[in-house]
Amino acid sequence: MSRLEIDELERKWLSVSLAMIGLFVGAIVVTAVSQGVHPPSHVETIDSASLHLSQEFAEDKLGVQPTPLADGSLQVRLVAGRYGFYPREIEVPAGRRIVFRMASMDVLHGAHIPMTNMSTMIVPGYVSEVVSVFPKPGEYPMLCNEYCGLGHDHMWSKVTVIAQENWREPATGGKQP
């Protein structure tokens, strides 16, 4: 058993390693608990084959929703399908909490607005829900980042973030600009 005597230096390094790992995990725990920072994990199922018949994802219900949610957030509903996120263009206000709800009508897709934390996988059979706030107005692409077929390269839609003061609530769901 004498073999198990660990060298002094090794013990120090082990403590440093453990402290480092503890620090990283600790930082994540703190943000997760105190600010509710979690990855999108909404275990909610839906029948991808009949989205067009569903209450929520029928064609005329898509896009930025006219009535804000109880907490003032705006809800945006999108259907991902080869090869675009529908509706292809949406406008949202800057600085406001946006709740994206997305479903796929065919295969796997991924939605990402570069340089923001708006990112989620879209898995057929499930509704993905992800929340983001866009501080800066401008035009952003929403890119598909999961291989979904030979047109994957060209799967993208446009998100325009509009300054608070220029923002008008849409009158109806769907049919954006």
Out of 64, 155, 159, 161, name the contact with Cu ion by CB under 5 A: 155
Q: Which of 17, 39, 18 is closest to 28 using CA atoms?
A: 39
Rounded to 5 degrees, what are φ and ψ at 35? -115, 5
Select the binding partner of residue 109 from another protein, Cu ion, none (C-beta < 5 to 8 A, by kind): Cu ion
Is residue 73 close enough to count as binding another protein by CB under 8 A?
no
Q: Is 142 in the site for Cu ion (CB under 5 A)?
A: no
Among 74, 127, 142, 148, binds Cu ion (CB under 5 A): 148
How far, in Å, CA of 36 to CA of 42, rounded?
Answer: 14
Q: Measured from the CB of residue 129, what is the shortest distance to another protein in angstroms? A: 7
Binding flag, residue 54, another protein (CB under 8 A): no
What does residue 16 show for φ and ψ, rounded to 5 degrees?
-60, -45
Identity of residue 135:
P
Q: Which of 15, 18, 66, 169 forms a contact with another protein (CB under 8 A)?
A: 18
112 near another protein (CB under 8 A)? yes
In whole angstroms, how far apart are CA 145 and each of 49, 86, 120, 156, 157? 22, 16, 9, 9, 12
Residues forming contacts to Cu ion in the complex (CB under 5 A) are 109, 144, 148, 155
